[in-house]
Amino acid sequence: MTTIAFIGLGNMGGPMALNLCKAGHSLTVFDLVPEAVDQLVAAGAQSAANARAAVEGADFVISMLPAGRHVASLYLGSEGLIASLDASTVLIDSSTIDAATAREVAAAAGEAGIGMLDAPVSGGVAAAAAGTLAFMCGGEAEVFARAKPVLEAMGKNIFHAGDHGAGQVTKACNNMLLAIHMIGTCEALRMGVDNGLDPVVMSEIMQASSGRNWSLEVYNPYPGVMESAPASNDYQPGFMVDLMVKDLGLAMDTAESTDSSTPLGAMAATLYSKHAENGYGQLDFSSIIRALGD
């Protein structure tokens, strides 16, 4: 039986930890919010008074925290987890954070002889609950091989993207592309409707043509075209605009760090930021179609 410590039991971490429990792993959890811990204890996990106590004797430590600063303060410094851990432990950070912080934390772990992966996820809360997340991992191949069976209890597609930070860069690239093709899909559907076309018929034609893409096919942003899409449920998330703004900020930081040209990514970041400022931050990201006029 594998002993796992899980830190950060929010919208994503809660259901991910639950799936580790269901898979029969021995789990000790910690979150700043006691109610989040209680839910896992009810499912068979053990609680701990703080993160340091949670990771005692753990084979794996998994963190799912809001941003880079939370991850750095959890692991680094004299009070951080790395200072107290045995070299046999494997660290897996699944938070979506900047690649620079992911590399800094992995380097500090490496100096202590501890293996670490950055392992951000794609799929959202529903996939976290269903155990069908995609993991994009950065780190040594040997550490990836040790971590893969644990990740398989929470995800369906587990990828090794490359060295430390590669998981975060892949996630930034993927979500930048997602934002761009969502906006493009919205523009095409809006222009067609403005010209008297039926969005259902248009979607069917474009799905069988070269404009085909995930936003059109799985997550259609036009209300009523696809029953299961947030667009048909008043844009209840799904994947919130505020989270897309965060991810596009990380993508723009990545582009700047390597002087990569991303004009459409920059445009998408501006459009999503304005959409959030206009009060739509809590809606699903496909609601960007509203920014093009109702």
Q: Is 171 a catalytic residue?
A: yes
Whether residue 243 contacts residue 272, with contact meaning beta carbons closer than 8 Å, is answered with no
Binding test (CB under 6 A) with ligand NAD, winner from 74, 158, 166, 251: 74
In angstroms, the CA 164 to CA 170 distance is 11
- Binding positions for ligand NAD, 175-214, rule CB under 6 A: none
Q: Which stretch binds ligand NAD (CB under 6 A): 31-39, 77-85, 228-236, 267-275?
A: 31-39
DSSP bridge pairs for 136? 159
| Distance, CA of 97 to CA of 8 (rounded, Å) | 14
CB count, 10 Å around CB of 12? 23
- By rule CB under 6 A, what count of residues binds ligand NAD? 26
Tell me how far, at minimum, the Cβ of 137 lies from ligand NAD, in Å.
14
Region near ligand NAD per CB under 6 A, out of 3-11, 83-91, 214-222, 270-278: 3-11
Ranges within 242-281 binding ligand NAD (CB under 6 A)? 243, 246
Structure tokens at 190: 């809006």
- According to DSSP, the β-strands at 133-138 and 155-162 are parallel
- Please, which residues have CB within 8 angstroms of residue 79's CB and are 6 or more apart in sequence? none
Contact call for residue 37 and ligand NAD (CB under 6 A): no
Q: Decide: 45 and 39 in contact? Cβ < 8 Å.
A: no
* Distances, alpha carbon 26 to alpha carbons 6, 22, 40, 75, 225, in Å: 11, 10, 12, 22, 44
Distance, CA of 13 to chain centre: 10
Our CB check for ligand NAD shows the closer of 33 and 145 to be 33
Nearer to ligand NAD, 63 or 89 (CB): 63
Q: Does 45 bind ligand NAD (CB under 6 A)?
A: no
Stretch that binds ligand NAD, among 62-70, 106-114, 179-187, 208-216 (CB under 6 A): 62-70
Closest distance to ligand NAD from the beta carbon of 119 (Å): 11
Residue numbers 77-136 binding ligand NAD by CB under 6 A: 95-96, 121, 124-125
- Of 4, 27, 31, 115, which one interacts with ligand NAD (CB under 6 A)? 31
Contact stretch for ligand NAD (CB under 6 A) within 24-32, 142-150, 254-262, 283-291:
24-32
Tell whether residue 10 is a contact of ligand NAD (CB under 6 A). Answer: yes
Catalytic choice (22, 148, 156, 171): 171
SS3 category, 264:
helix
With the C-alpha atoms ordered 153, 156, 162, 165, is the resulting torsion angle positive or negative? negative
Residue for token pair 């430590």: 61
The single residue listed with the structure tokens 């991850």 is 71
* Strand positions, DSSP E, 31-172: 46-47, 60-63, 90-93, 115-118, 121-122, 133-138, 155-162
Which secondary structure element, helix H or strand E, spans residue 212, and what is its range? none
Query: Among residues 36 and 99, whose Cβ is nearest to ligand NAD?
Result: 36
Beta carbon of residue 240, minimum distance to ligand NAD (angstroms, whole number): 7
Given the complex with ligand NAD, which of 33 and 200 has the nearer CB atom?
A: 33
Catalytic annotation, residues: 171
Which residues contact ligand NAD (rule: CB under 6 A)? 7-13, 30-33, 36, 51, 64-66, 70, 74, 95-96, 121, 124-125, 239, 243, 246
